[in-house]
Amino acid sequence: MIVSSSRVRVGSTGFHGENLFVELRDRIARSAQLPGLPQGWTAESAVYSAHGEGFSGDFMVADLTHNGRHLEVALVDVSGKGREAGTRSLLLSGALGALLGSLPPSAFLNAANSYLVRQGWEEGFATAVHVDVNLDTGEFSVGNAGHPAPVRYSVGTGTWEILEGGRGPVLGIMQGVTFARTRGTLTMGDALMIYSDGIIESRGHDLTEGTDRMLGAASGAMIRHGDSITDAVVSSARSGEADDRAVFVITRR
């Protein structure tokens, strides 16, 4: 009776309801797949849900834009965790994926914020970070909407630098807000990394400690060459499986 009631609520018969959820989960995963990059660039990403749930409040969309000369990536953290945030993640991933390349990078977060405000969700806020990388020159810009600050690796110093500038308010709270962008250039051997708060936050620990752990893991992976930076960073997360975790890294070789 419980199963039948659930299927009536979904509006499906038989096992089509379960198939629908599988399709929605897979669609979110496909939107996060990274496109092939030109020679001289490598990128990797990882998205893990809390407690191994099929749905995550963290999601990522990526695409080549400007006739394949730019890579744009948006990493979003929707309010809530796991399954409770899954439906909002699905709706937003489709909408934000359509925005990539459809308007200038400087307008991406503004459009995302307007869309989210119009939804009128009771728990409709989200944090997001949007990256635009020129694959010809290495120039990049980052817009931040209440998200943890991106970090840049400099091969010259062998260290990661926190890019604190350009942070705006979270998405979905009010119309008319603006989002400044942080700009820079990746030279040979440099890298840029964005991540969700599940990587650095955990109960009973300071954010600075979580950030230091993340940067230490990322530095070790850079030094060892060939090791997965995303795997190292996710493994270092203090929250473990208690929170959604997502990370994206692009490196110029």
Domains of the chain: 17-252 (3.60.40.10)
Closest CA to 111 of 121, 101, 64: 101
Using CA atoms, how far apart are residues 69 and 144, in angstroms rounded to an integer?
22
How confident is the model at residue 117, as a pLDDT?
92
Helix, strand, coil percentages, rounded to 5, for the chain: 35, 30, 35
Long-range contacts of 159-166 (CB under 8 A, 24+ apart): 159/219, 160/193, 160/215, 160/218, 160/219, 162/211, 166/142
**Rg for the chain, CA atoms, rounded:** 18
pLDDT (mean) for 121-142 = 92
How confident is the model at residue 119, as a pLDDT?
86
How confident is the model at residue 224, as a pLDDT?
86
How confident is the model at residue 85, as a pLDDT?
67
Does the pLDDT of residue 21 top 60, yes or no? no
Contact between 244 and 198 (Cβ < 8 Å): yes
Contact between 15 and 207 (Cβ < 8 Å): no
Q: What is the pLDDT of residues 103-118, one digit of tens each?
A: 999 999 999 999 999 9
How confident is the model at residue 31, as a pLDDT?
59
Mean pLDDT computed over every residue of the chain:
85
Band of the pLDDT at 48, cuts 50, 70, 90?
A: confident
Q: What is the pLDDT of residues 132-172, one digit of tens each?
A: 999 999 999 999 999 999 999 999 999 999 998 778 999 99
DSSP state at residue 156: T
Share of the chain above pLDDT 90, in %: 58
Lowest mean pLDDT among 72-76, 83-87, 207-211: 83-87
pLDDT (mean) for 203-219 = 88
Closest CA to 131 of 178, 179, 192, 90: 192
Using CA atoms, how far apart are residues 194 and 230, in angstroms rounded to an integer?
10
How confident is the model at residue 33, as a pLDDT?
81
